[in-house]
């Protein structure tokens, strides 16, 4: 649902979102099951008086003193009735009215939205220290074990220790190269399995097969073994659980934005998150228990234990940092990191591969040009390997355009101000929620010519990259809170996309291929899964080696 706006100078009237209004009506009506009408009336009057009296006497032309431009919201609810579940679209439309720096009140929480590279530079680079914290919601507390993971940990010693371990021991250039054979095994394994399915003219869900292979890549990184099988449903079930959690994380929660509602959990998001995540928590506990048992067996037989994967590094961590309680990592930290690796390392990348296949296949000009390059560089007598990527110039442009038009996280994972500060001369309060709309910037005609067109040629000869230095293209964020695992995600999108297009021709139903609808959570998935039939384009001997 798209929100309509009636804008005038200095103030605006926004049409309330009917979904939220229906929820409010049912929420208030639901109290009738528990309280009499007199108690409801008294409670409503008391709460309304508490919030409305200061509201009625405040300056109604802005959200707070010297706030950036933005629509002024309702009492208590703020701008929530004006927003849909597609916040990135709502913020994009608001930016057309109010400009690249917008102020909002989300319930009782102040928020700003950044919608231009210039504002992103000021917030994420020039004043990064003031914007280095995270906004932690009730759902995030569940999936991150109360913010005990690297993405959601507060900026401080724990976060620094986790980032240092990942960068120096697990994601260093040396470790990255050591894992290359494993990445090749996973990609080629998917291609060979799809070849077997192609013999029966079977239609496949591209994102699901990419997800299973990525989940095995992550599981080897985490615990040195494959945990999933393409022929069994476990990978599909895990993908569905991850998506359900990602969707809940991306849903505005009244309990977070209106604290008085927190004990009630009126949308049921925390209850649902606990129910879904309970199964994943048991999965992480099992991995840890198996590792501890393996090490005990090694000690009993007096044999050295040589695995140095992520689980081993976290469980073996020792430090002299007694002041901050970091001599060893707690079970919550270990499980928080496992959760983050599996969710962030699989769902976002597999979804990006699906978007990439969809865009290439529905643009015949791009498809023809890319396949010609693949055949020229690789030939037809072998599978693609990682070392081919630097020689595939058009592929690199295709992937940049893919990350531009379909960033996996449309609103960079929200930050929070550590202290009150100024941006562009406006006052930004302490603990303000900060959104950076990279999805919206990708659709800004002032930044990109024909922004809605999938046109890889815009990056041919361009020095613009996705590494966090070009603020009009930030799919992985930037600075100290950027995605630590971006080199792996970046490499795997290139690898899977090229390997699938080089090894097969694909036949997709036009109504699915051309449907660009979205499923929205913290990330954006293709609305209708891309179902396609693979047709081998290489000699049979290549697949059967």
pLDDT at position 30, please?
A: 39
pLDDT at position 323, please?
A: 59
> Phi, psi (5° rounding) for residue 412?
-40, 135
| Contact by Cβ (8 Å): 98, 85 | no
Would the pLDDT of 47 be above 70?
no
> Pick from 471, 484, 421: which is nearest to 152 by CA?
484
| Contact by Cβ (8 Å): 477, 468 | yes
| Mean pLDDT value across residues 75-103 | 93
Would the pLDDT of 20 be above 80?
no
Helix, strand, coil distribution of the chain in percent, nearest 5: 55, 10, 35
pLDDT at position 324, please?
A: 56
> What are the Cα distances from residue 1, in Å, to 15, 17, 49, 85, 130?
12, 8, 33, 8, 34
pLDDT at position 318, please?
A: 76
Other C-beta atoms closer than 10 Å to the C-beta of 105 total 23
In the chain, domain spans: 11-105, 157-543
Would the pLDDT of 236 be above 90?
no
pLDDT in tens, 498-542: 999 999 999 998 888 888 888 888 899 998 899 999 999 999 999
| Contact by Cβ (8 Å): 329, 158 | no
Lowest-confidence segment of 38-42, 218-222, 360-364, 368-372 by average pLDDT? 38-42
pLDDT at position 325, please?
A: 58
531: which strand partners? 205
Lowest-confidence segment of 221-230, 375-384, 485-494 by average pLDDT? 221-230
In the chain, what percentage of residues exceed pLDDT 90? 59
Other C-beta atoms closer than 10 Å to the C-beta of 237 total 12
Tokens of 228: 């999933």
pLDDT band at 308, cuts 50/70/90?
confident
Would the CA dihedral through 482, 483, 489, 493 be positive or negative? Answer: negative
Which of 89-93, 179-183, 335-339 ranks highest by mean pLDDT? Answer: 89-93
pLDDT in tens, 448-473: 999 999 999 999 999 999 999 999 99
End-to-end CA distance of the chain: 50
| Mean pLDDT value across residues 139-155 | 91
Lowest-confidence segment of 35-44, 100-109, 258-267 by average pLDDT? 35-44
Would the pLDDT of 358 be above 70?
yes
Lowest-confidence segment of 147-151, 304-308, 475-479 by average pLDDT? 304-308
pLDDT at position 351, please?
A: 93
pLDDT at position 175, please?
A: 84
Task: Cite the DSSP H helix spans in 99-130.
Answer: 117-121
Burial track 120-154 (b if 16+ CB lie within 10 A, e otherwise): bebbbeebbebbbbbbbbbbbbbbbbebbbbbbbe
Task: Cite the DSSP H helix spans in 66-143.
Answer: 87-98, 117-121, 138-143
Other C-beta atoms closer than 10 Å to the C-beta of 83 total 23
Would the pLDDT of 35 be above 60?
no
CATH 1.10.630.10 fits 157-543, yes or no: yes
Which of 16-20, 85-89, 502-506 ranks highest by mean pLDDT? Answer: 502-506
Cβ-proximal residues to 170 (8 Å cutoff; 6+ apart), any chain: 221, 310, 313
pLDDT at position 131, please?
A: 93
| Mean pLDDT value across residues 215-229 | 90
């Amino acid at each position: 649902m798209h929100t309509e706006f009636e804008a005038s100078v200095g103030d605006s009237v926004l049409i309330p979102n009917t979904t939220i209004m229906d929820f409010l009506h049912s929420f208030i009506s639901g109290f009738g099951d528990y309280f009499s009408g007199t108690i409801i009336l008294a409670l409503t009057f008391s709460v309304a008086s508490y919030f409305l009296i200061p509201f009625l006497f405040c300056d109604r032309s802005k959200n707070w003193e010297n706030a950036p431009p933005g629509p002024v919201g309702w009492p208590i609810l703020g701008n929530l009735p004006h927003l849909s579940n597609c916040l990135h679209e709502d913020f994009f439309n608001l930016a057309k009215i109010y400009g690249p720096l917008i102020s909002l009140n989300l319930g009782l929480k102040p928020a700003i939205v950044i919608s231009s590279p210039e504002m992103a530079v000021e917030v994420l680079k020039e004043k990064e220290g003031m914007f280095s914290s995270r906004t932690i919601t009730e759902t995030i507390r569940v999936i991150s074990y109360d913010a005990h993971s690297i993405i959601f940990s507060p900026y401080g010693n724990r976060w620094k220790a986790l980032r240092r371990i990942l960068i120096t021991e697990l994601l260093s250039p040396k470790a990255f190269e050591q894992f290359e054979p494993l990445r090749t095994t996973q990609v080629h394994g998917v291609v060979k399995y799809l070849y077997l399915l192609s013999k029966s003219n079977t239609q496949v869900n591209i994102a699901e097969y990419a997800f299973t292979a990525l989940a095995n890549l992550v599981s080897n990184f985490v615990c040195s073994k494959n945990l999933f099988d393409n022929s069994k449903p476990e990978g599909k079930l895990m993908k569905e659980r991850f998506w359900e959690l990602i969707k809940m994380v991306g849903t505005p929660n009244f309990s977070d934005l209106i604290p008085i509602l927190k004990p009630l959990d009126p949308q049921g998001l925390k209850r649902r998150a606990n129910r879904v995540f309970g199964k994943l928590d048991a999965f992480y506990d099992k991995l840890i228990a198996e590792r501890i048992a393996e090490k005990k067996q090694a000690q009993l037989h007096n044999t050295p234990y040589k695995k140095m994967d992520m689980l081993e590094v976290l469980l073996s961590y020792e430090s002299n940092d007694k002041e901050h309680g970091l001599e060893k990592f707690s079970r919550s930290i270990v499980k928080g990191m496992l959760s983050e690796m599996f969710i962030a390392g699989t769902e976002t990348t597999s979804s990006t591969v699906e978007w990439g296949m969809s865009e290439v296949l529905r643009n015949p000009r791009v498809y023809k040009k890319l396949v010609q390059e693949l055949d020229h560089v690789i030939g037809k007598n072998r599978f693609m390997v990682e070392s081919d990527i630097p020689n595939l110039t058009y592929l690199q442009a295709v992937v940049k355009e893919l990350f531009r038009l379909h960033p996996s996280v449309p609103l960079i994972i929200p930050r929070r101000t550590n202290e009150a500060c100024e941006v562009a001369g406006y006052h930004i309060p302490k603990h303000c929620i900060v959104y950076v709309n990279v999805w919206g910037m990708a659709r800004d005609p002032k930044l990109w010519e024909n922004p809605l067109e999938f046109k890889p040629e815009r990056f041919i000869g361009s020095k613009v990259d996705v590494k966090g230095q070009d603020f009009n293209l930030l799919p992985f964020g930037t600075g100290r809170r950027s995605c630590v695992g971006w080199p792996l995600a970046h490499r795997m999108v290139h690898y899977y996309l090229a390997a699938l297009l080089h090894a097969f021709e694909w036949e997709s139903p036009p109504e699915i291929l051309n449907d660009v609808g979205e499923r929205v959570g913290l990330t954006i998935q293709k609305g209708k899964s891309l179902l396609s039939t693979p047709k081998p384009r290489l000699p049979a001997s290549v697949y059967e080696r």
